[in-house]
Amino acid sequence: VRRKLIAANWKMYGSCTRVQDFLEALIPRVDPAGPEVVVCPPYTLLPVAVMVATGSPVAIGAQNCHWAEEGAFTGEVAAPMLAELGVRWVIVGHSERRRLFGESDETAAQRAAAAQRAGLSVIFCLGETLEEREQGHTFAVLERQSKALEGLEPNVLAVAYEPVWAIGTGRTATPQQAQEAHVFLRRCLAELFGDSAADTVRVLYGGSVNPGNAAVLLSEKDVDGALVGGASLDVGSFSDIIRSAPEPPTGA
Protein backbone atom coordinates (compact mmCIF):
# COMPACT_ATOMS: atom_id res chain seq x y z
CA VAL A 1 0.00 0.00 0.00
CA ARG A 2 1.33 3.42 -0.99
CA ARG A 3 1.36 5.99 1.79
CA LYS A 4 -0.38 9.16 0.64
CA LEU A 5 1.83 12.19 0.04
CA ILE A 6 0.45 15.72 0.31
CA ALA A 7 2.77 18.47 -0.91
CA ALA A 8 2.39 22.24 -0.76
CA ASN A 9 3.73 24.30 -3.66
CA TRP A 10 3.91 27.88 -2.44
CA LYS A 11 5.12 29.16 -5.83
CA MET A 12 6.48 32.74 -5.47
CA TYR A 13 4.54 33.62 -2.34
CA GLY A 14 5.43 33.99 1.31
CA SER A 15 7.96 35.51 3.66
CA CYS A 16 10.14 34.24 6.50
CA THR A 17 7.59 35.10 9.17
CA ARG A 18 4.76 33.66 7.12
CA VAL A 19 6.43 30.29 6.58
CA GLN A 20 7.45 30.14 10.23
CA ASP A 21 3.90 30.88 11.42
CA PHE A 22 2.48 28.42 8.89
CA LEU A 23 4.75 25.56 9.95
CA GLU A 24 4.30 26.24 13.66
CA ALA A 25 0.55 25.95 13.14
CA LEU A 26 0.75 23.00 10.74
CA ILE A 27 3.15 20.70 12.58
CA PRO A 28 0.91 19.94 15.61
CA ARG A 29 -1.95 19.13 13.21
CA VAL A 30 0.06 16.54 11.26
CA ASP A 31 -0.47 12.94 12.33
CA PRO A 32 2.82 11.07 11.89
CA ALA A 33 0.79 7.94 11.07
CA GLY A 34 -1.17 9.80 8.37
CA PRO A 35 -0.08 11.05 4.96
CA GLU A 36 3.50 12.17 4.37
CA VAL A 37 3.59 16.00 4.25
CA VAL A 38 6.03 18.17 2.29
CA VAL A 39 6.07 21.98 2.15
CA CYS A 40 7.88 23.67 -0.75
CA PRO A 41 8.35 27.43 -0.22
CA PRO A 42 10.58 29.72 -2.34
CA TYR A 43 14.35 29.26 -2.00
CA THR A 44 14.95 32.16 0.39
CA LEU A 45 12.48 30.74 2.91
CA LEU A 46 14.08 27.28 2.96
CA PRO A 47 16.54 27.84 5.85
CA VAL A 48 13.86 29.08 8.23
CA ALA A 49 11.44 26.39 7.05
CA VAL A 50 14.00 23.64 7.67
CA MET A 51 14.82 25.09 11.06
CA VAL A 52 11.19 25.08 12.16
CA ALA A 53 10.36 21.67 10.65
CA THR A 54 13.42 19.71 11.80
CA GLY A 55 12.39 16.83 14.03
CA SER A 56 8.75 17.14 12.95
CA PRO A 57 6.79 14.95 10.56
CA VAL A 58 6.84 17.74 7.94
CA ALA A 59 9.60 17.66 5.31
CA ILE A 60 10.74 20.69 3.35
CA GLY A 61 11.15 20.78 -0.43
CA ALA A 62 12.36 23.25 -3.04
CA GLN A 63 10.54 24.16 -6.25
CA ASN A 64 13.41 23.59 -8.69
CA CYS A 65 17.13 22.88 -8.87
CA HIS A 66 19.85 23.07 -11.48
CA TRP A 67 21.28 19.97 -13.16
CA ALA A 68 24.94 20.78 -12.48
CA GLU A 69 26.63 20.28 -9.13
CA GLU A 70 28.10 23.77 -9.38
CA GLY A 71 29.24 26.11 -12.11
CA ALA A 72 28.88 29.41 -13.89
CA PHE A 73 25.08 29.51 -13.85
CA THR A 74 24.18 32.92 -12.43
CA GLY A 75 20.91 32.89 -10.55
CA GLU A 76 20.60 29.11 -10.33
CA VAL A 77 20.65 26.83 -7.27
CA ALA A 78 22.32 23.41 -7.27
CA ALA A 79 20.81 20.31 -5.70
CA PRO A 80 23.72 19.73 -3.26
CA MET A 81 23.15 23.27 -1.93
CA LEU A 82 19.57 22.32 -1.12
CA ALA A 83 20.64 19.04 0.45
CA GLU A 84 23.20 20.85 2.61
CA LEU A 85 20.40 23.00 4.05
CA GLY A 86 18.37 19.97 5.09
CA VAL A 87 15.90 20.18 2.22
CA ARG A 88 14.62 16.68 1.40
CA TRP A 89 12.46 17.08 -1.70
CA VAL A 90 12.42 19.06 -4.91
CA ILE A 91 9.65 19.74 -7.41
CA VAL A 92 10.88 19.34 -10.99
CA GLY A 93 9.25 20.09 -14.35
CA HIS A 94 6.31 22.13 -13.04
CA SER A 95 4.13 23.37 -15.89
CA GLU A 96 4.83 27.00 -14.95
CA ARG A 97 8.52 26.28 -15.48
CA ARG A 98 7.77 24.51 -18.76
CA ARG A 99 5.48 27.28 -19.99
CA LEU A 100 7.25 30.39 -18.71
CA PHE A 101 10.90 29.42 -18.30
CA GLY A 102 11.71 27.12 -21.20
CA GLU A 103 11.76 23.86 -19.25
CA SER A 104 11.71 20.82 -21.53
CA ASP A 105 11.40 17.09 -20.90
CA GLU A 106 15.20 16.89 -21.32
CA THR A 107 16.11 19.64 -18.86
CA ALA A 108 13.53 18.39 -16.36
CA ALA A 109 15.06 14.91 -16.60
CA GLN A 110 18.53 16.32 -15.94
CA ARG A 111 17.34 18.30 -12.94
CA ALA A 112 15.60 15.26 -11.49
CA ALA A 113 18.71 13.12 -11.90
CA ALA A 114 20.87 15.79 -10.23
CA ALA A 115 18.41 16.04 -7.35
CA GLN A 116 18.52 12.30 -6.75
CA ARG A 117 22.34 12.28 -6.95
CA ALA A 118 22.31 14.87 -4.17
CA GLY A 119 20.10 12.62 -2.06
CA LEU A 120 16.87 14.51 -2.64
CA SER A 121 13.52 12.95 -3.46
CA VAL A 122 11.80 14.27 -6.56
CA ILE A 123 8.24 15.29 -7.34
CA PHE A 124 8.25 15.20 -11.14
CA CYS A 125 5.35 17.15 -12.69
CA LEU A 126 3.72 16.43 -16.00
CA GLY A 127 0.33 16.89 -17.62
CA GLU A 128 -1.44 17.88 -20.80
CA THR A 129 -2.70 21.31 -21.87
CA LEU A 130 -6.39 21.93 -22.60
CA GLU A 131 -5.68 21.93 -26.33
CA GLU A 132 -3.88 18.60 -26.10
CA ARG A 133 -6.79 17.11 -24.14
CA GLU A 134 -9.39 18.44 -26.56
CA GLN A 135 -7.48 17.00 -29.49
CA GLY A 136 -7.39 13.60 -27.81
CA HIS A 137 -3.64 13.66 -27.22
CA THR A 138 -3.64 13.33 -23.42
CA PHE A 139 -2.15 9.85 -23.23
CA ALA A 140 0.42 10.52 -25.97
CA VAL A 141 1.61 13.60 -24.09
CA LEU A 142 1.80 11.74 -20.77
CA GLU A 143 3.71 8.91 -22.40
CA ARG A 144 6.21 11.32 -23.95
CA GLN A 145 6.67 13.32 -20.76
CA SER A 146 7.04 10.22 -18.61
CA LYS A 147 9.90 8.95 -20.78
CA ALA A 148 11.96 11.67 -19.10
CA LEU A 149 11.82 9.54 -15.93
CA GLU A 150 14.01 6.86 -17.47
CA GLY A 151 17.10 6.18 -15.37
CA LEU A 152 15.73 7.78 -12.23
CA GLU A 153 15.59 5.89 -8.95
CA PRO A 154 11.92 4.97 -8.41
CA ASN A 155 12.31 4.69 -4.62
CA VAL A 156 12.85 8.42 -4.27
CA LEU A 157 10.47 9.56 -6.96
CA ALA A 158 6.88 10.75 -6.98
CA VAL A 159 5.06 11.82 -10.13
CA ALA A 160 2.53 14.65 -10.10
CA TYR A 161 -0.15 14.51 -12.76
CA GLU A 162 -1.05 18.17 -13.20
CA PRO A 163 -3.33 18.86 -16.15
CA VAL A 164 -2.29 22.37 -17.18
CA TRP A 165 -5.92 23.44 -17.60
CA ALA A 166 -6.57 22.67 -13.94
CA ILE A 167 -3.66 24.59 -12.39
CA GLY A 168 -4.68 27.80 -10.70
CA THR A 169 -7.91 27.87 -12.69
CA GLY A 170 -10.36 26.57 -10.11
CA ARG A 171 -11.19 23.87 -12.65
CA THR A 172 -10.39 20.43 -11.25
CA ALA A 173 -10.10 17.15 -13.11
CA THR A 174 -12.95 14.85 -12.18
CA PRO A 175 -11.92 11.95 -9.96
CA GLN A 176 -12.50 9.69 -12.98
CA GLN A 177 -10.25 11.79 -15.23
CA ALA A 178 -7.54 11.74 -12.57
CA GLN A 179 -7.82 8.02 -11.91
CA GLU A 180 -7.71 7.23 -15.64
CA ALA A 181 -4.59 9.35 -16.16
CA HIS A 182 -2.93 7.88 -13.06
CA VAL A 183 -3.55 4.31 -14.22
CA PHE A 184 -2.07 5.21 -17.59
CA LEU A 185 0.97 6.83 -15.92
CA ARG A 186 1.48 3.78 -13.73
CA ARG A 187 1.57 1.67 -16.88
CA CYS A 188 4.25 4.02 -18.28
CA LEU A 189 6.16 3.66 -14.99
CA ALA A 190 5.92 -0.13 -15.27
CA GLU A 191 7.52 0.05 -18.73
CA LEU A 192 10.40 2.04 -17.28
CA PHE A 193 10.93 0.41 -13.90
CA GLY A 194 9.07 -2.90 -13.92
CA ASP A 195 5.74 -3.74 -12.33
CA SER A 196 6.76 -3.97 -8.70
CA ALA A 197 8.71 -0.69 -8.63
CA ALA A 198 5.89 1.05 -10.53
CA ASP A 199 3.55 -0.14 -7.85
CA THR A 200 5.46 1.76 -5.18
CA VAL A 201 5.81 5.14 -6.97
CA ARG A 202 3.27 7.67 -5.69
CA VAL A 203 1.31 9.41 -8.44
CA LEU A 204 -0.05 12.69 -7.06
CA TYR A 205 -2.84 14.77 -8.55
CA GLY A 206 -2.38 18.52 -8.84
CA GLY A 207 -4.73 21.19 -10.17
CA SER A 208 -7.06 23.30 -8.03
CA VAL A 209 -7.18 20.82 -5.15
CA ASN A 210 -9.04 22.35 -2.21
CA PRO A 211 -10.69 21.14 1.01
CA GLY A 212 -13.96 20.67 -0.89
CA ASN A 213 -12.68 18.30 -3.57
CA ALA A 214 -9.68 16.61 -1.94
CA ALA A 215 -11.54 13.72 -0.34
CA VAL A 216 -13.12 12.40 -3.54
CA LEU A 217 -9.89 12.76 -5.50
CA LEU A 218 -7.79 11.11 -2.80
CA SER A 219 -10.16 8.19 -2.47
CA GLU A 220 -9.43 7.09 -6.06
CA LYS A 221 -7.29 3.95 -5.99
CA ASP A 222 -4.36 5.36 -7.96
CA VAL A 223 -4.45 8.91 -6.63
CA ASP A 224 -1.66 8.62 -4.09
CA GLY A 225 -1.67 12.20 -2.90
CA ALA A 226 -1.90 15.79 -4.01
CA LEU A 227 0.34 18.65 -5.05
CA VAL A 228 -1.47 21.73 -3.82
CA GLY A 229 -0.81 25.28 -5.00
CA GLY A 230 -3.22 28.05 -4.01
CA ALA A 231 -4.96 26.15 -1.21
CA SER A 232 -1.63 25.32 0.45
CA LEU A 233 -0.97 28.92 1.47
CA ASP A 234 -3.58 28.79 4.19
CA VAL A 235 -2.79 26.44 7.06
CA GLY A 236 -6.46 25.71 7.71
CA SER A 237 -7.21 24.65 4.17
CA PHE A 238 -3.92 22.77 3.73
CA SER A 239 -4.42 20.78 6.94
CA ASP A 240 -8.04 20.08 5.94
CA ILE A 241 -6.73 18.64 2.67
CA ILE A 242 -4.26 16.45 4.58
CA ARG A 243 -7.07 15.26 6.82
CA SER A 244 -9.24 14.41 3.79
CA ALA A 245 -6.94 11.57 2.79
CA PRO A 246 -8.63 8.26 3.52
CA GLU A 247 -7.10 6.06 6.22
CA PRO A 248 -4.99 3.24 4.80
CA PRO A 249 -6.72 -0.14 5.08
CA THR A 250 -5.88 -1.82 8.38
CA GLY A 251 -3.42 -4.68 8.30
CA ALA A 252 -1.52 -3.00 5.46
So which residues are the catalytic ones? 94, 162
CB of 201 to ligand PEP, least distance (A): 18
Q: Compute CA distances 144 → 85, 114, 138, whole Å.
A: 33, 21, 10
* 205 beta partners: 161, 226
- How many residues bind ligand PEP, per CB under 6 A? 14
Phi, then psi, of 217 in degrees rounded to 5:
-65, -45
CB of 145 to ligand PEP, least distance (A): 15
Instruction: Between 53 and 233, name the residue whose CB sits nearer to ligand PEP.
Output: 233
Minimum distance from residue 33 beta carbon to ligand PEP (Å): 26
| 114-131 CB burial, b ≥16 within 10 A, e <16 | bbbebebbbbbbbbbbee
Among 246, 207, 239, which Cα is nearest to 226's? 207
Write the CA distances from 69 to 76, 77, 181, 188, integer angstroms.
11, 9, 34, 29
For the segment 196-235, give every residue that binds ligand PEP (CB under 6 A): 206-209, 227-231
The smaller minimum CB distance to ligand PEP, of residues 66 and 94, is found at 94
CB 153 to ligand PEP: min, Å: 23
Site string for ligand PEP, 162-201 (x = CB under 6 A): x----xx---------------------------------
Specify the residue, 71 or 168, whose C-beta has the smaller distance to ligand PEP: 168
Give residue number: closest CB to ligand PEP: 229
C-alpha–C-alpha distance, residues 23 and 99, integer Å: 30
Q: Tell whether residue 93 is a contact of ligand PEP (CB under 6 A).
A: no
Q: At its nearest, how many Å lie between ligand PEP and the CB of residue 166?
A: 6
Cα angle value 15/20/22 (rounded, 5°)? 95
Q: 12 vs 33, which CB is nearer to ligand PEP?
A: 12
Enclosing H/E stretch for 6:
strand 5-9
| Pick 59 or 80: Cβ nearer ligand PEP | 59
Q: Which residue from 8, 9, 38, 80 is in contact with ligand PEP, where contact means CB under 6 A?
A: 9
Q: Measured between alpha carbons, how far is 183 from 197 in angstroms, rounded to an integer?
A: 14
Report the interface residues with ligand PEP, using CB under 6 A: 9, 11, 162, 167-168, 206-209, 227-231
